[in-house]
Structure 1
Amino acid sequence: MAQYAILAIVLALAAEFAKWREIGRTFFEPRLIEFTILHGLANALLNTALYTAGAFVLGLVLGLVLALMRLSPVAPYRWLATVYIEFFRGLPSLVVFIAFSLLPLAFSGLTIPWSPYGTVWVALGVVGSAYMAETMRAGIQAVPKGQVEAARSLGMSSAQAMRKIVLMQALRLMVPPLTNELIMLIKDSSLVFVVGLSAGQFDLTEFGRSTANTNVNITPLVVAGLGYLLITLPLSMLVRRMEVSRVTGA
């Protein structure tokens, strides 16, 4: 009852002292909401999805390679994968974006295809792969060793047992955390402004910021933030359903 009372008091104070008219004009201006939705929001939403999808595919492939290297009996493979994972998990994503955006200046003649999309895919994919690798390694190790031994007793090679038995069983364990990684990539895609974008290449954050600066009002940035929720909320609900299904065995 005390907690309900505290909550009621906080809400009453907010309703009494908040400048609701000023809040509405600054954050929820109807004219700017309509303008933002009709003039570029769909394109920014599409660009955000493209940036994230390319990075996720690259991170998934590279993460699987790194996970297998971490589990390899060859020590140098394990060392290389460990150094890579710890290095890119320790660096802020913004630093990685800056580094990859400056690569053509550091190495004359170097070009990343389909820029700026290619630059974003590589930078974001490299960061995501370091996290996905650990998720995949944990999923692979969660498969009982008896499954591998049974596959080998049937005449399968180590590679066949990994591909046909282990990965197929580990996939169900890996999907929920990998979906969480996808959500993190969606939010990290807001850093693409570092690589330099034209208006048609803006992601949601850059589009909202640019429109907000032009109109001297925060409303377009709020609308852009709601665009992220339009993507991430269904994914979050999907993750919760998959977790419940995995626990209940449904």
Structure 2
Amino acid sequence: MSTIKSEPSAAAARGGGGLSPRKRRRVILGVQYAIVIGVIGLIAATVDWPTIREHFLDVDAARQMLPTLFTVALKNTVIYTLSAYVIGFLLGLLLALMRMSSAAPYRWAALVYVEIFRGLPALLVLMLIGFGIPIAFQGLQFPGDVYGKVAIGLGLVAAAYMAETFRAGLQAVPRGQMEAARSLGMSHSRAMVSVVIPQALRLVIPPLTNELILLFKDSSLVSALGITAATIELTKLGSDAAINSADATPFVVAGLTYLIITVPLGFVVRRLEARQTRGR
């Protein structure tokens, strides 16, 4: 009899007052959805929509940014990003190999570099490259002037982060891959280039794509170098247009243009991560 009496009480305890775990989850989700909808409705009811349309969705202010938005600003932003990415990629891979070298001076030099450039703000590095280096080395000319300064400045910062990404990828490659390549008569350097590095690159494609997105956004720091109309990028164009029109629409247009690039790249990152997860 005691056993029979305990069963309903245990079931009630598990059910939480008669609700099954699935029903409890539905109730909790329903409450959460109601709260979110309520907050959105409250915001929508309190926003001054006529002012939003006038100062944030002004078609005339957006039209004044054309065609410079795409023919100059977006083009320069892409150039700044890709040139810095190439430098960061090559230098980062070199630093990763130095971090894994058997020679202690190489490891120390790479470690010092990574710690310094990961600790310095990208804006400060850009200003040091753009204004400090020409003072220290009189007569030094960067290739492409602003383009060269941006590529080197952002590339140096990106290399510090990519170096750690590459190092993680190289360490993730099974040690047996190197041993198998050496058993086939390959030298250590040949095995690294032909066997280990290609496998490591496949492993780190998602974080490297994330770094490309970060560089695309960091290109907005270029305006600190005093760019001209020919070297203007998206954020500077939006800022100048907003000042001229006394309107916030140019900022919205510039932000949407960034999203045209970054959202598809983010989708690519998620697909690559999902594919690697399935592969494992």
Task: Compute the TM-score of the two structures, normalised by the length of structure 1.
Answer: 0.97
Tell me the equivalent position of 1:126.
Answer: 156
Please report the RMSD computed on the Cα atoms of aligned residues, expressed in angstroms: 1.2
Assess, with a 3 A threshold, how the Cα gap between structure 1 residues 39 and 113 changes in structure 2: closer, same or farther. closer
- Residue aligned with 1:126, SS: helix
Consecutive unaligned residues of structure 1, counting only runs of 5 or more, are none
Tell me the equivalent position of 2:46.
Answer: 17
Counterpart Cα distance in 1 of 2:232 and 2:142: 19
- Aligned: 1:165 with 2:195: yes
Counterpart Cα distance in 2 of 1:96 and 1:187: 16
Tell me the equivalent position of 1:92.
Answer: 121
- Residue aligned with 2:66, SS: helix
Counterpart Cα distance in 2 of 1:173 and 1:198: 40
Tell me the equivalent position of 1:192.
Answer: 222
**Identity of counterpart residues, as a percentage?**
51
Tell me the equivalent position of 1:139.
Answer: 169
Tell me the equivalent position of 1:234.
Answer: 264
- Residue aligned with 1:37, SS: coil
Residues 41 and 207 in structure 1, CA contact (< 8 A), matched pair in contact too: no
Counterpart Cα distance in 1 of 2:100 and 2:216: 29
1:8: Cα distance to partner? 1.7
Query: What number of residue pairs does the alignment pair up?
Result: 250
Superposed structure 1 runs of 4+ greater than 3 Å apart: 37-42
- Aligned: 1:153 with 2:153: no
- Aligned: 1:203 with 2:233: yes
Letter in 2 for 1:127: V
What do the CA deviations read for 1:43-100 (whole angstroms, capped 9, x no partner)?
1000000000000000001001100000000001000000000110011111101101
One of 102, 105, 108 as aligned partner of 1:73 = 102
- Residue aligned with 2:65, SS: helix
Counterpart Cα distance in 1 of 2:139 and 2:120: 27
Letter in 1 for 2:108: W
- Write out aligned runs for 1:12-91 (5 A): 12-91=41-120
1:39: Cα distance to partner? 4.0
What do the CA deviations read for 1:210-250 (whole angstroms, capped 9, x no partner)?
11111111111110111110111111111111111111129
Residues 69 and 234 in structure 2, CA contact (< 8 A), matched pair in contact too: no
Using the TM superposition, name which of 2-11 and 59-68 deviates more: 2-11
- Residue aligned with 2:64, SS: helix
Counterpart Cα distance in 2 of 1:158 and 1:229: 43
Using the TM superposition, name which of 80-89 and 28-37 deviates more: 28-37
1:163: Cα distance to partner? 0.4
- Aligned: 1:245 with 2:253: no
Letter in 2 for 1:151: A
Counterpart Cα distance in 1 of 2:257 and 2:69: 12
- Residue aligned with 1:133, SS: helix
- Residue aligned with 2:140, SS: coil
Counterpart Cα distance in 2 of 1:114 and 1:211: 26
- Residue aligned with 1:155, SS: coil
Task: Compute the TM-score of the two structures, normalised by the length of structure 2.
Answer: 0.87
Assess, with a 3 A threshold, how the Cα gap between structure 1 residues 162 and 39 changes in structure 2: closer, same or farther. closer
